[in-house]
Every structure is written in C-alpha cells, then in structure tokens.
C-alpha cells in the first residue's frame, strides 16, 4: 500500500552545506540573549536552514554599517528562552544588532547605520525607509509548504505606533500552486488575516506618549509588553512567536527576501528574531505520544496507551488519507492491543488525527514487544519507505496471596515481589517485605518502573491458642 493524500506530498529531507568565510567575530554579552556579529549572509542563512529544502544564490545587504565597520545590523543570537520563545537563531535589525540584547534599560536605544532603505519596504510602508538590512536566497522545497518562525520587536513601541512604524517583510516569489505566481508577496502576516505584522496592526495604543503601554488594543493578544518586565531583549515590546508560511509547488525554485528597515528616521531600532533551523518544508509527520506517567516511550499493558499522531504542515480543503504499506513487529495486531487499522484520514480544515492504541493485559511475562508502521514518502529524487515504531511493555500486578490464618503469637511475612519502584503497606511501611502477627486487612500498593500502580489485599486471621488441658490424678 502507498501514501495517498490530497494536496500533500511527503519527501525525504536534504540540506546543502555552504563553506563559511572565516573572519573576526565580535561578541557582546549583557543578559540572557547573547548576540554575536560579524557574519556574512551565507553563515546567517545556514543557521536558519532546516529540513526539506535546498538553497542557493545567497546574498545580503546592509548587514554592516556603511559609516562604522564595527557596527553590524545583523547577527546571531542565543538564549532567547523562555522570554521571547525562541532559543537561538539570527536577528536582523534596522540599526545595531548588539542593542537588541537586554535587559530593557534604555528608553531610546537605536543607531543610524548610514545604509539606504529598500524600495519594496518603502512601497509597503508608504513612507521613506533607511538602514535596510536584507538577506535573499533561492530555495527548492521538497514538500508543498514552507515555514519558519520569528519574533518581531521594536524600541518604537509604544509611543510611536501611529507615526514612525519601522517596517519588515518576508517577500516570496515563484509558482503559486493555486494559479499564477507569487510576485514578492509578503508572508509575514497576522494569523488568519492578510494584515502584515507591524506596529500599526499590533499594539496597545499610544495614550501615554512614553514607554508604558496604552489602554486600547489592536490585535494586542499577539504583543508582549517589555517596558516593566525588562526581559532578555532591549525592545519595549515584542510579538509572540509567529510562523511565516506559504503553499508552494514541490521541487520548484523560489526566491525569498528577508528585509527590515527604519521608517522616516533612523533614531530607534527595530529587530526581527528568526529561529535557527526553522526554515523548512515539512511534510506529513507521524509521532507516537505515550500516556505512560513516567514519561517513557512505551505503552504498558493494562496501564497506559499510545496515540499515533499523523500531522499535516497546514490545513487542507480536502480529506487527506494515509495508507500504511504494512504494519509489522513482534506484537500481534488485535491480540496484544485493540485492532489497528492500516489507514487514517485527516478531515478538511484539521491539522492532525490519531490512531488510539491500547495494549491488552494478557497475564504473561514477555520481552518488550513492538509494532512498526511502514509508509511511503516521495521526494524530488524518488520514493522511499519510512517507518515509525511503537513499543509495548508488560504490566506486572502485585500479588501477596489469599486470605490466611496464623496461630496466636506466630509471625508471618508477606512478599510484594521484586522489581517495583515503590511499596506502600497499610501501616505506611515502604519495604518489599511486611512482617506482622496482628489480625486485620493486609494491603499493599506498588508502582513499577513505568509508574503504573497495582494494589492487592487479603484478610489475616489469628487463631487463639487452645486452653491448657487440666489433668487430674487420683
């Protein structure tokens, strides 16, 4: 059987490796986010590159100040978690990349790099631009979608959201699978809209004329105020993590332009943080999600289950079917678990669906068992078979025996068995063995290595000793 899907093609991943040009790297560290500068366009794009795409024809402009060679508008960053939601990547700014580092302790951080603006950004902003920082490259996707993640921030928040509005955009050009072509179309959009991510379109208002935020809201659910918290970046506000996305034709060549610039003046800086490894062309992914309490990647008989989640990179207008080539492994379908279908569909408008797999407790002690799901994937170079494995482990319930009786004064020891992580007897003791001579209910709760619980109990009775027999002598 083969992969059947509508508007979605799976493929192998590939990556092109570019050889970096080595030169002196300036590093300045101030807080959680650390920015380093001195990189060329090839090196910056390499950090962005993820799976499922190849790239070529990389160029850059405005990466370095034209008036001061020690000032760089672009750089790499690390340490963005948890504040900005991206751990590492590259940052493009409209001034000095080092000023992007936090904490936010400057009410007006900015630098005029002396570089020109960009005609495309000027047209988008509706005003003149300055200090444009741009990276461009061609790419070939292996799937029908390209994505990457980013955060936008600015020192012009909150007081200049209706006046200066520094600009950035991600322009894509190439074949549009819906017909025609993309012609420098901006894909940095607010989710569910055609609105560009900008200070005009995302803000808290401008009531105070200073850093503290106003009391109105324009898509402000996407904005984080940084005036008072002063996290690991300098900018007065920044967005949540956005995902730029475009539907593409697999194996065709596209052009992408990442650009940012000052609008009107060059006083205050604006920056966009792009996540390392996030520029990718994702296809269908299949991921086991186990419910086992210990967090282990195994489903346990009688205790936990696993959902085999099949996900799309983006919603589709039609039903998408995945038919497995085969389901193999040491476990038996319908015996060691509920019966598993060899196909799954994702409804229109949904991103994922799952196969629910519940192991069946059979009372037998067996080695670790598994199912292996094989499915075909298609890349620009042909078809290959991929697989994903699901593991099933035994559950070993505790057994301390049945109701019993002892004689008065006699001690008895109960054994809960070996291999459990914790033991808890009715009196609070926590060892494997429990010794007593008292009548009552004897019970124990154990947790195994998978944190699966088991309970057993019995009734202990104590028979009194017989009274001494009186013997009389005549």
pLDDT: which is higher, 21 or 298? 298
399's tokens? 């057994």
Q: What pLDDT score was predicted for residue 22? A: 32
| pLDDT band at residue 473 using 50, 70 and 90 as cut-offs | low
Count the neighbouring beta carbons within 10 Å of the beta carbon of residue 51. Answer: 17
Q: Answer yes or no: is pLDDT of 315 > 90.
A: no
- How far CA 70 is from CA of 24, 27, 74, 113, 133, in Å, comes to 11, 11, 12, 10, 16
Six-digit token string for 223: 């904005």
Task: Find the mean pLDDT for residues 431-441.
Answer: 96
CB 299 within 8 A of CB 361: no
Phi first, then psi, for residue 167 (nearest 5°) are: -120, 145
Highest averaged pLDDT of the listed ranges 101-105, 160-164, 292-296, 311-315 = 292-296
Percent of the chain at pLDDT exceeding 70: 90
The residue length of the chain stands at 474
Which pLDDT value is given to residue 356? 97
Give residue 56's Cα distance to chain centre. 27
Lowest mean pLDDT among 3-17, 25-39, 98-112, 220-234: 3-17
Q: List the beta strands (DSSP E) in 68-202.
A: 74-78, 88-93, 129-141, 145-154, 167-175, 181-186
pLDDT digits (tens, 9 = 90+) for 239-288: 999 999 998 988 999 999 999 998 887 778 999 999 999 999 988 889 99
Report the pLDDT averaged over residues 84-106.
90
Number of other residues whose CB lies within 10 A of the CB of residue 382: 9
Say what the pTM is: 0.67
Largest Cα separation within the chain, whole Å, is: 132
Model confidence band, residue 226 (pLDDT cutoffs 50, 70, 90): confident
Is the predicted pLDDT of residue 7 greater than 50, yes or no? no
Residue 164 pLDDT: 64
* CB-based burial, 251-281: b 16+ in 10 Å, e otherwise: eeebebbbbbbbbbbbbbbbbbbbbbebbbb
pLDDT at 370: 97
Element (H, E) at 261: strand 254-263
Rounded average pLDDT over 47-67: 94
> Comparing 109 with 450, which gets the higher pLDDT?
450
For residue 80, pLDDT over 90 is answered with: no
Would you state the pLDDT for residue 381? 67
Q: Determine which helix (DSSP H) or strand (DSSP E) holds 224, and give its type and residue range.
A: strand 223-225
* Cα(226)–Cα(158) distance, integer angstroms: 10
Report which of residues 275 and 465 the model is more confident about. Answer: 275
Average pLDDT estimate for 321-328: 93
CA dist 186 → 151, 175, 336, 402 (Å): 16, 15, 51, 73
Residue 216: the pLDDT is 83
Cα separation of 75 and 77, whole Å? 7
- In the chain, how many H helices and how many E strands? 2, 29
466 forms beta bridges with: none
- What is the C-alpha separation between 65 and 349, in angstroms, rounded? 46
* Strands, E assignment, 264-350: 270-275, 285-290, 299-300, 306-311, 320-323, 326-328, 343-346
Q: What pLDDT, on the 0 to 100 scale, is given for residue 378?
A: 67
Residue 130 pLDDT more than 80?
Answer: yes
CB within 8 Å of 248: residues ≥ 6 apart: 141, 144, 145, 146, 174, 175, 177, 254, 281
At residue 98, what are phi and psi to the nearest 5 degrees?
-65, -25
Instruction: Look at residue 330 and tell me whether its pLDDT is greater than 50.
Output: yes
Q: Residue 289's pLDDT is what?
A: 97
Across 17-31, 196-210, 336-350, the highest mean pLDDT is recorded for 336-350
Mean pLDDT of the chain: 86
Question: Would the pLDDT of 18 be above 50?
Answer: no
SS3 percent helix, strand, coil of the chain, rounded to 5, is: 5, 40, 55
Q: List domains and CATH numbers for the chain.
A: 31-275 (no CATH), 285-393 (2.60.40.2030), 404-463 (2.60.40.10)
27 has a pLDDT exceeding 60: no
Per-residue tokens: 2:
């083969």
pLDDT of 11 over the 50 cut: no
Single out the residue of 398, 367, 363 nearest to residue 298, CA to CA: 367
Beta bridge partners of residue 391, listed in sequence order: 370
CB 408 within 8 A of CB 462: yes
C-alpha atoms less than 13 angstroms from C-alpha of 362 in its C-beta half-sphere = 18
- Smallest Cα–Cα separation from 301: which of 363, 248, 244, 252? 363
> What pLDDT was estimated at residue 111?
85
pLDDT reported for residue 10: 34
Arithmetic mean of pLDDT, 91-113: 86
């Amino acid at each position: 059987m083969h992969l059947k899907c509508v508007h979605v093609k799976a493929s192998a991943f590939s990556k092109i490796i570019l050889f970096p040009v080595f030169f002196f790297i300036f590093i300045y560290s101030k807080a959680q986010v650390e920015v380093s500068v001195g990189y060329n366009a090839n090196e910056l794009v390499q950090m962005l590159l993820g799976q499922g795409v190849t790239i070529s024809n990389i160029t850059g402009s405005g990466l370095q100040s034209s008036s001061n060679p020690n000032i760089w508008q672009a750089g790499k960053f690390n340490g963005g978690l948890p504040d900005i939601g991206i751990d590492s990547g590259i940052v493009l700014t409209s001034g000095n990349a080092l000023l992007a580092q936090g904490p936010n302790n400057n009410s007006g951080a900015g630098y005029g790099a002396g570089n020109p603006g960009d005609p495309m950004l000027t047209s988008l902003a509706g005003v003149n631009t300055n200090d444009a920082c741009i990276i461009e490259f061609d790419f070939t996707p292996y799937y029908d979608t390209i994505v990457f993640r980013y955060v936008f921030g600015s020192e012009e928040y909150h007081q200049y959201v209706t006046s200066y509005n520094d600009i950035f955009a991600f322009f894509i050009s190439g074949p549009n699978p819906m017909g025609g072509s993309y012609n420098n179309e901006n894909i940095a959009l607010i989710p569910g809209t055609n609105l560009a991510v900008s200070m005009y379109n995302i803000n808290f208002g401008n009531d105070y004329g200073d850093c503290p935020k106003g009391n109105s809201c324009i898509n402000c659910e996407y904005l984080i105020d940084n005036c008072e918290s002063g996290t690991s970046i300098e900018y007065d506000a920044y967005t949540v993590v956005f995902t730029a996305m475009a539907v593409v034709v697999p194996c065709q060549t596209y052009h992408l332009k990442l650009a940012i610039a000052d609008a009107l003046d060059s006083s205050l800086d604006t920056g966009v943080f792009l996540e390392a490894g996030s520029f990718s062309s994702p296809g269908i992914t299949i991921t086991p999600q186990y419910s086992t309490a210990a967090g282990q990647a195994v489903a346990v008989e009688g205790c936990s289950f696993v959902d085999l989640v099949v996900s799309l990179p983006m919603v589709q207008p039609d039903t998408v079917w995945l038919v497995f080539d085969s389901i193999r492994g040491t476990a038996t379908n319908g015996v060691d678990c509920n019966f598993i279908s060899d196909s799954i569909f994702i409804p229109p408008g949904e991103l994922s669906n799952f196969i629910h797999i519940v192991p069946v407790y059979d009372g037998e002690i067996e080695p670790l068992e598994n199912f292996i799901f094989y499915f075909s994937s298609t890349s620009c170079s042909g078809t290959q078979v991929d697989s994903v494995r699901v593991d099933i482990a035994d559950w070993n319930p505790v057994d301390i025996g049945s109701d019993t009786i002892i004689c008065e004064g006699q001690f008895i020891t109960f054994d809960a068995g070996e291999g459990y992580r914790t033991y808890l007897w009715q009196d609070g003791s926590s060892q494997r063995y429990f010794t007593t001579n008292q009548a009552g209910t004897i019970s124990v709760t154990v947790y195994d290595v998978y944190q699966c619980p088991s309970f057993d109990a019995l009734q202990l009775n104590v028979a009194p000793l017989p009274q001494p027999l009186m013997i009389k002598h005549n």
